[in-house]
Every structure is written in C-alpha cells, then in structure tokens.
Structure 1
Amino acid sequence: MNDRAPLVFITGASSGIGQALAQRYAQAGWRLALVARREAALRDWAQAQGLGPERCGVYAADVADVGRIVAAGQACLSTQGLPDVVIANAGISVGMDTAERDDLDVMRETFATNNTGMAATFHPFMAPMRAQRRGTLVGIASVAAIRGLPGHAAYCASKAAVVAYCESLRGECRPFGMKVVTLLPGYIATPLTAKNPYPMPFLMAPEDFADQAFRAIGAGASYRVIPWPMAVVAKLLRLLPNPLFDRAFAGRGRKPRRSSTAT
C-alpha cells in the first residue's frame, strides 16, 4: 500500500456508523487509524477485511478518558503521520429522567463522551494541522440536536452542543486553511437505535449513510443532514410552534433509561 495514501482517523470504529465509515474509506484506498474501546473486536474486523498494519492502525481508547484518547491521537501521529481527516464519531445515547438521581450521572457521562471526548479527539491534531495549513475535522452530531425530545434530554442537549461547538471551531480553523464538517445523521440502523421504542422514519443502513458522509466530507460541506428527507423534517420541526410541537410528541415513546435496560 502506498504510504502516501490519505489517512483518516475515526473514533468509535468497532461498530455502527464508525465501522461503516472505516469500510467506506478503505474501499476508497485510504489508510485507516481506528479507535475503539473494544480493541480486540476492532482488530478482528480489520483482519477480516484484509487490512494489515500497513493499511490500518488500531488504538484502544475510551474518548471519555481525555488522557487515553489524546494519547491515541499522539500515537497515530508518531506511527502513521498526520491524518487528512479526523472523524469524532464515538458517542453514547441513553434515556434519562431528571427526577432520578442516577440519571444525573448518565447526563455527565453523555457529555463526557459526546462533547469533551470530541474536543479531546481533535486536540492532538490541531497544532500540526494549523502548522501545515490543511486538514478536515468532522463532528458527528444528530438530528436530535434540532429539537429536544421527551426522555432524550442528555442526548439531545449533547448533540445540540456538538453543532454549536463545531460551528465555533469552524470559525477558528478557517484562517489556518482547515475545514470543519458537521454531520447530522437521522435514524441509522445501528446498535444505538436498535432498542428505540418508537417509529424511526427514513431509517437508513449504516453503509448508505457512510457513502453519503464520505461524499459530504470530501466536498467540505460545513453542515449536512443525512438522509436529505430528514433534513426537511428537521426544518419543519424547528419551525413548529412550541404548543404544537409539545402536543405532537406528548405520547411518543421514550428512549430506555440505563436502569431499565441494564444487562
């Protein structure tokens, strides 16, 4: 494999969207730097895809552990070089009820993973990307960022924060020739959505999402909802007056809380 092939760094790569993105970039001939908590599962997947160490570096880290994910990024820099694209994909989604004390910990953990973990993922690459005046940072948000849904307070708030954070970062990076891409997936058929007790319109296969995301990232899109019909729905929901919105979602099923789904 040409060691000058472009390099992509992806967190949460052992399943779901992250794994689909890894596969799509591999198909396009990119080198991979993949991060997950489940290192063994990730190595097994890479081996099954025929991706040897010259094509794929694997790093074990929980993005909620700032020291570990920063160390993973630094290890990538020293062994594989500076990525062309960094995708902060790792995230968690758990229902919460503010009346329950344990769910305050759920909210803290959600923000530690979905928000602080994203910033920590980007951190090791900021200075070298600025120095070389190149690079693309990709934050995976969600259409759940558009409106707050009952029972989803931690997740919706964290993904709204991703959108605002990436917008701020985009302005900071522009003078250095860097791009920041914010992607908002709709409902994607992954382990994260498998237990949702409510209808999921426009449910999309992760491979289809990855293909559209690959093209959006390559085009340097600053903000993209995938799939596009969900973008229309999201805009309509944003325009819906609060009394109508509240009435429409009053009886909607809620994402299971950790205490009700623990295994």
Structure 2
Amino acid sequence: LRAMAGRRKLGDADEWLQGFENPFSQCSYPPEDLALEAFSSYVQKKAKGVLSEENKRVEPFATSLLDGIDMRETIRNWHEGKLYVQELRKGLGGVGSVVIVFDEDRERYPWEMTWLGENDEEGDMALFATHPLQQIVGPGICRAEYGGSLLSYPPGRMSEVWTDEAFEAARSPAERLLMAGVDYCEHKLVAYLAKKPPRQELKSWAGRYGKKIVYIPIGQFSPDTLKKLRVFHVLFGKEKREIARDYIW
C-alpha cells in the first residue's frame, strides 16, 4: 500500500488549455480503451449466443440426438415423458462490429468523432458524446460521456463516418453508427446494444449486403458497468498519457 497523494491543483488557464487548438493531436486514454474493448468482446460473444438461440431447431427425440439434448425444453415438457433434442444452425459467422447506444439525445451529445485504432488489439471507433471542452480536468485533458459508440475490427479501415454520404439515410446519430457498423463489418454479424431495436428498414438494408444485425437490449447489462463505460477522456497529445492518471478518477 502507499499513501494517497493529494489531487493536482488547477494551473493557470494557458497551461490547462494547451493543445486544444490542434484537433489532430486528440487521443484516448489507454486504460479506458481496454475496458471498452473488453466489454465489446463480451457483447460479441453474447450476440452469437443470442443468434444461436434464435436459430436452433428443437424437436422430440426420435432417432438421433442431433446436437444434443435441449434441457430447457425437456424440463418444460416433463409431463410428456419425452426428451427434446436441438439442432444448431452452423456457420453463423463472426461479429465484426459492435454498436452501443447509451442515449440518443442529440442536444446532449453533439460531439461527433471518428478514431482509428492504434494497434491490432484495438478496433476503429466512431462516437457521439458530450463535448470534451465542457469538462476540462487537467492540462490538455478533458472528460466526456458517450451517447453512443461503434467499434469495428480489424483497425485502420474506417473513414470519417459523420460526413460520409453513404449513411445519409440515417435518421439519428445512432442509426449512422449502425449503418457504418454494417458497412465496415468484415464478418456476417453486427451487434447492436440499445434501448430499442433498429428499424426493420435497416435490418433489410443490412441483409442486402449479406449482414445480420443482432439486437441486444441494453437493459440486460449492469447499470453500474454501463455508467463506468460511458465516461471517457480526450487527451490533446499522446504525451498527456504520462500525466493523465493524476487527473482522472
């Protein structure tokens, strides 16, 4: 254990605003990237589980166990004295994009940004959020809150999502993220975590490109976990990563 250090005190305005004039110097705080990437990996697995459940066929046992006994259906129909077996659809494919929509309020989350992953472990990201300059917490360090985010893998492929005319049919920032998620997805599945499912028109549009949107209600996840994930920091210059931990809590 070690003694708790005192919180950094505010410097003068010039020090705290250094780097803000150069938008190309913006970068993220790696520990927060790791947390979001880990959560996205969990969502990918959950999306495949949801789709597997939707696409399995269950029937009373006759001559073959197929892909195994379906315990849930067997117990549900225990009074029949029958075993129920399941047949799982093969070749569902992987999840290439994860879209998370926390809140669709346009006025509260006006800041729109596209970031490229810095290494093979990170996905490219597009997001809409509160404006970082509303919460300056350190020299060249700002705090913001996601309204929504898109992570797409592998990195290094995403163009500017927010000005791309290919997504002009989107009715909201959340729909633009979803359309971009479909467009940049190199696998068959796009996970969509939100309060409400996407419009049928978007599902059909994705289907024309051989993609499937897997909707997962965001209410299935812990509110505490989501609250922590929503907060992130924008640093103006990679050198700020060395001091960011003194201002981020």
TM-score by length of structure 2 reads 0.28
Q: Which has the larger radius of gyration?
A: 2
> Which structure carries more strand by proportion?
2
TM-score by length of structure 1 reads 0.26
The structure with higher relative contact order (CA 8 Å, sep 6+) is 2
> Which structure carries more helix by proportion?
1
